[in-house]
Structure 1
Amino acid sequence: MREFVFALEYDPGTNPVADVLEANPETTVRSLACHVTSESLWRVDHATGSQAGIEALESAYREPTYCADCLVRDDCGADCETQLLDRSSDELVVYTYWDRTDVCTSVPHLALEYLGEGLLFETYREGRRYRWRIVLGRDAPVGDFFDALGDEVGECAGMEILRLTDLDPDREDDDADKSLPAEQRAALQAAVEYGYYETPRRTDLSELAEKLDVPRSTLSYRLRRAEATLATAFVADDSLEYDETLAVGR
């Protein structure tokens, strides 16, 4: 098995969810489930963020013309069902389902067509960036799939391949680093490279944001999320070592 990770970067006005996330950089969306057949698609997503961001995101999901993941820029005619499964001031769990029309297509539908059945999908959205991770067979024609996706996306979004690697259960990677989205990992790496964490700092947050060509608020949020993930992983590992020490001493 292999994993293929790539990202779409939506242009302004081409995707209502991307527009909301760009305007609310503290709000992100992560998939809980994503399933596709040749005739339909359904998924469950978990959003976290500010109250204003969650409210705007809910409105975007409820737009009559919005159909989750459909790449057709004009009205495709699909009947899209949207249901809120859970809602609080800073969280939203939403279910979406739609039946495919003759003109409908999507990342999962193209993947099913070119990469075959038995695929696993995972997505993460932040700002205009929509990252996809697909677990697929070793011999699946990834190049053909990505070319077809480029034809469907057209000029409404940029495309970037992040990695194509074998799934290796024995690979000794840092678990905390693997759990960081690519955007947060890149922000953290740049912060270290440019001396943001040095004392005294060689660069401040505004300068770093300018170097990375991202809004200051977006960079600040990415660094905070990355730092929180690493700190939580560190404390968990430290607690595990402490428990193992106690067990050995018994």
Structure 2
Amino acid sequence: MRELVFALEYDPGCNAVADTLAEHPGARIRSLSLHATDERLWRVDHASGSADALAAIETAFKSTDYYADCLATDDCGATQTTDVLDRDDDTLVLYSYWERSPVCVSVPHLALDHLGDGLLFDTRHEGRHYTWRIIHSGTGNVAAFFDALETAVGDCAEMEMLRTGATAEPGGDVDHESTTLSAEQEAALRAAVEHGYYENPREVDGGELAEHLDVPRSTLTYRLRRAEEQLAKGYVTDETRPDTSHTGRP
């Protein structure tokens, strides 16, 4: 099996949920289940955040006819319903069902067209960043998928490839590609080190570093966080590193 991991960073006004999450930086949405056929899509999402953030997320889901992964920037005529499955003070579970119109296009449907059946989807949405992980058989045309996705996204979002490669076998070694930083992540991390972002006290703050790299601060924060996550996971799972966990004091 193979995996693709990439992120879409939405511009303001292009995705109601992205706009809502940008207004509530502590809120997050992750998919619990996502399924698609040629004609429809249904998914369950888990949102976390403050009570105000959850109320705004629910409104965004329910009031935007084309939210459920449709890449349209205007109402495309799709039929969508969203229901609340569970709610407490800081979490919200939503079920969404979407029937396509002839002009609708989405990430899952483009994946079906170019990567084949039997796909598994996992998503994470924070701020304007929408991260996708797709598990596929490896028999499809990945280049054609990304070309079609780039065309569909247009000027509304920036695409960033995070990793692609074979999935790790259960109990086996971690795939090298799964711990490799993307070019954007590596550039952000190098700049952070070179400009003293990790010094104590810091020699540059996030806003200054983002301005130097000519990217939004939210984008820089996202890239650094993902790079740190990849490096931390690679360090912990590196079997060639000596195990010092049981070393006692002399």
- With structure 1 as the length reference, what TM-score do the two structures score? 0.76
Given that residues 66 and 72 in structure 2 are in contact (C-alpha distance below 8 angstroms), is that contact kept between their aligned partners in structure 1?
Answer: no
Verify the 8 A CA contact 2:87 2:93 in the aligned structure 1: yes
Counterparts of 1:6-155 in structure 2, within 5 Å, are: 6-155=6-155
Offset of residue 120 of structure 1: 0.7
CA offsets 1:200-249 (integer angstroms, 9 cap, x no match): 44334554454464448x949x86xx79xx7xxx9xxxxxx98x99xxxx
The residue aligned with 2:240 is none
2:159, 2:206 → 1: CA distance?
27
Q: Which secondary structure state, in structure 1, belongs to the residue aligned with residue 78 of structure 2?
A: coil
* Paired residue secondary structure (1:62): helix
Q: Distance in 1 between matches of 2:194 and 2:30?
A: 28
- Amino acid corresponding to residue 56 of structure 1 in structure 2: A
> CA RMSD of the aligned region, Å?
3.6
Q: Percent identity?
A: 53
Residue 9 of structure 1 and its aligned partner are, at CA, apart by 1.6
Q: Which amino acid counterpart does residue 204 of structure 2 have in structure 1?
A: T
Whether the aligned pair in 2 keeps the contact of 1:35 and 1:42 (CA below 8 Å) is yes
The code of the aligned residue for 1:11 comes to D
Counterpart CA distance in 1 for 2:188 and 2:29 is 18
Change (3 A) 1:201 1:155: closer
In the TM superposition, residue 198 of structure 1 has moved relative to its aligned partner by: 3.5
Letter in 1 for 2:65: T
Please say if 1:203 is aligned against 2:175: no
CA contact (8 A) 2:50 2:89 kept: yes
Are the aligned partners of 2:47 and 2:93 in contact in 1 as well (CA < 8 Å)?
yes
What is the aligned length?
231
Q: Distance in 1 between matches of 2:39 and 2:21?
A: 29
CA distance in 1, matches of 2:185, 2:24: 16
Residue 57 of structure 1, CA deviation: 1.2
Q: CA deviation at 1:168?
A: 2.6
Counterpart CA distance in 2 for 1:136 and 1:148 is 17
Change (3 A) 1:77 1:189: same
- The CA deviation string for residues 4-40 of structure 1, in whole angstroms up to 9 with x for no partner, is 1111121211110011111222112111111011111
TM-score, normalised by the number of residues in structure 2: 0.76
Check whether the contact 1:16–1:66 (CA below 8 A) recurs between aligned residues.
no
Q: Which has the higher helix share?
A: 1
Distance 1:58 1:18 in 2: 13
Unaligned 5+ runs, structure 1: 235-240, 246-250
**Deviation for aligned residue 1:173:** 7.0
Q: Distance in 2 between matches of 1:155 and 1:208?
A: 25
Equivalent-residue separation in structure 2 for 1:206 and 1:72 (angstroms): 31
Q: Partner of 1:171 in structure 2?
A: 173
Q: Which deviations, in whole Å up to 9, do the C-alpha atoms of 1:62-100 show, x marking residues without a partner?
A: 105343101122322222010111223322211100112
Distance 1:9 1:37, change over 3 A: same
